[in-house]
Chain A
Amino acid sequence: MAERREIELIPRELEEARKQEKLLQTARLVGFGFLGLSFLVIFLILSIVGAQTVLISNLHRQISEKEARISELSTVEEKVVGLADKNAALTQIFSGRSYFSILLKTLETSIPQGIAITTLSTSQTEEVVALSGETRSYGDLAKFLRNLVDPEKGGSLFTQVALTSVVLEPTTGKAKFVAEATTVEGGLKKGWEELLK
């Protein structure tokens, strides 16, 4: 049987050239595609930048308008901000305020007949009240010292009292004394309930 062989009608070189041409076309297409894509990306990015810039510019314009409106309301704002500042200050001032009338009132209720307070010294930052006075009777002095820490009298304000010195003056027959009374912490302050009475 005779062997049948395929006859190659297209020469090998021509086929190779066609393949090469096709590859080149694809490569050119990829090259141009890539370039086109790059332009597209750049265009998109620049468009976004443009749009954002316009948007921001618009927002700045709106901010200027709002600021102008706030400026129109500056009288109201000054009062509101001032009120807020004063309110904050008052809250602290009321909390830390010492009412010295409490001290004098408490002292008044603790001084028995026969005792004269000649000097008194205290300050907002001190817890000790320095007192000096005179009496004709040691019994009255003892009563005064007791009264100062008696819960019914001075004890609501004073936690302790210390007699520093007692000197009897023979010419007048009076005993001069010096004492220090320690106040309870926050004893001169008033709570909110008391302030709102």
Chain B
Amino acid sequence: MIPKLSLPTKLGGIFNYPLIRGFGLPILLIGISVTLLLVIARPTLGKVIALQTERATTQNSLSTLAAKIEQLENFASRSEALDDEFKRFNQAVPSESSVPALLTQLQEIANLSGVTITAMQFGGRDIPAEGAAGGQGWFEVRVRVTLESGFDSLLKLLKTLETASRLIDVESLQYSARTSQEGGSVLGTELTFVSYYTAKPVLLPEMPITFSFTDPSFERNSQVLQRLTPYETSIP
């Protein structure tokens, strides 16, 4: 036997009101609709906006990547020119401090200029963080050199260094003259040289390529570098 279920008398009484009996259902339906809209539609609408923003951002990233691939493929098709230019620029400002090569090059240039290096001291270098450019965009390595020469040889040394393909600048120059045993004048010179290098770049997929072979500064720098003399150094 199924027990007969009935609302409590008071609640049942409410449903006996003609207004509730008649308009109860429409009002309930509207209530449910409003509740559904508030509980489901409203928060989801916020998600739609967030998704639209994410889509736009993702689309932008995709466009950036597509443009980058196009640029890289263009560079890859000119790999020979790229290699040549990179070699030239890397000779001027290498990707590592390459201290032994620098010292060897200095010794070679000194020999060519007719000066005698009596002491050469590595004066330290900036230690770059992984892939980070220095405050100026490059890092420095210093070498202190003491040498003996005549005035002309010292001048030749400076001129040769100024036209050497690896950039070596003079930071300070001091000399004092003394009379040699043969009666001539000998300059005892102390020079502080500074050379430069860049850190190895960190490659991020979304980092755009801003470089171009037609960039006026690149064309100009490349032309200047072509006028410099490379000193191939072999480190045993």
Contacts and interface: CB of A to CB of B under 8 A. Distances in A.
A100 B162 CA distance: 9
Nearest to B26: A31
B196 A89 contact: yes
A48 B33 CA distance: 20
A29 to B, nearest CB: 8
Interface stretch (A73-81, A154-162, A176-184): A73-81
The contact size tier of chain A is 35 or more
A45 B44 contact: yes
Given A45-B40, A79-B82, 14 more contacts: A30-B26, A31-B28, A31-B29, A34-B33, A42-B44, A53-B51, A69-B69, A70-B68, A81-B207, A82-B200, A83-B218, A86-B93, A104-B158, A196-B223
A104 B220 CA distance: 28
B102 interface: no
Interface in B172-197: 172-177, 185, 192, 196
Interface string A31-52: 1101101110110011011001
A98 B191 CA distance: 14
Nearest to B194: A124
Contact of B72 (A30, A63, A80, A116): A80
B30 to A, nearest CB: 5
B23 A24 contact: yes
Contact of A59 (B62, B75, B227): B62
B137 A122 contact: no
Interface of A: 20, 23-24, 27-28, 30-32, 34-35, 37-39, 41-42, 45-46, 48-49, 52-53, 55-56, 59-60, 62-63, 66-67, 69-71, 73-74, 76-94, 97-101, 103-105, 108, 116-124, 192, 195-197
A38 to B, nearest CB: 4
Given A38-B41, A49-B51, A101-B162, A121 B198 contact: no
Interface stretch (B6-14, B52-60, B103-111, B117-125): B52-60
Contacts of A100: 158, 170, 173
A4 to B, nearest CB: 38
B147 interface: no
What are the 6 tightest A-B residue pairs by CB atom distance, in nearest-first order?
A31-B26, A31-B29, A84-B211, A123-B172, A38-B33, A66-B65
Contacts of A74: 203
Q: Is the interface of B mostly helix, strand, loop or mixed?
A: helix
A45 to B, nearest CB: 5
Interface of A, helix, strand, loop or mixed by DSSP: helix
21 contacts: A24-B23, A31-B28, A35-B29, A38-B41, A42-B36, A52-B52, A53-B51, A70-B72, A77-B209, A80-B82, A83-B86, A89-B137, A90-B224, A98-B169, A100-B170, A108-B155, A118-B177, A122-B174, A123-B171, A124-B170, A195-B224
B210 to A, nearest CB: 6
Given A45-B44, A49-B44, A88-B137, A73 B175 contact: no
Contacts of B198: 82, 85-86, 89
Nearest to B87: A79
Nearest to A88: B137
Contacts of B41: 38, 41-42, 45
B176 A37 contact: no
B201 A30 contact: no
Nearest to B77: A76
Contacts of A41: 37, 41
